[in-house]
Amino acid sequence: MKTFSERVVEAALMVPQGMVTTYGRIAVAAGGGPMASRSVTGILGKAYMAGEKNIPFHRIVYTNGKVWLDEGYREQRLKLYKKEGIEVDEKGIIKDFRDKLFEFK
């Protein structure tokens, strides 16, 4: 049986190009509750450091459609969004967020 952490990584890898999901949706898809969303970033960061380099971090956003844009990754992430047809407004919110939201089945 897979661990919660393994299921979190699997869920993150399922998000297709041009779509986004939220930390909470990943946590629930992996079998956790809404509060488990607080652990998603740490789990994915550890998986990345352990060699899982395909995690689409830019496709994981906050529940209101806000994207994480720090100065170290801002330019790179904005290029990825543009390449995937995801428009981000000047406040860092995904335009047409509901249309771009990937729902796990």
Residue 9 lies in a domain: yes
User: Each residue of 55-84: pLDDT tens digit?
Assistant: 999 999 999 999 988 888 899 999 999 999
Residue 104 lies in a domain: no
Residue 53 belongs to domain with CATH number:
1.10.10.10
- Helix boundaries (H) for 1-105: 4-14, 23-29, 40-49, 74-83, 97-100
**CA–CA gap between residue 71 and residue 12 (Å, rounded):** 23
Domain total in the chain:
1
Instruction: Provide the pLDDT confidence category of residue 34 given band limits of 50, 70 and 90.
Output: confident
Residue 105 lies in a domain: no
Residue 33 lies in a domain: yes
Average pLDDT score over the chain:
95
**Is residue 31 within 8 Å of residue 1, measured between CB atoms?**
no
Rg of the chain on CA atoms, in Å:
13
**CA–CA gap between residue 17 and residue 40 (Å, rounded):** 20
Give the pLDDT score at 73.
Answer: 84
Domain of residue 95 covers 4-99
**Whether residue 51 has pLDDT greater than 90:** yes
At residue 60, the 3 state secondary structure works out as: strand
User: Each residue of 14-33: pLDDT tens digit?
Assistant: 999 999 999 999 999 999 98
- What is the model's pTM? 0.93
Residue 36 lies in a domain: yes
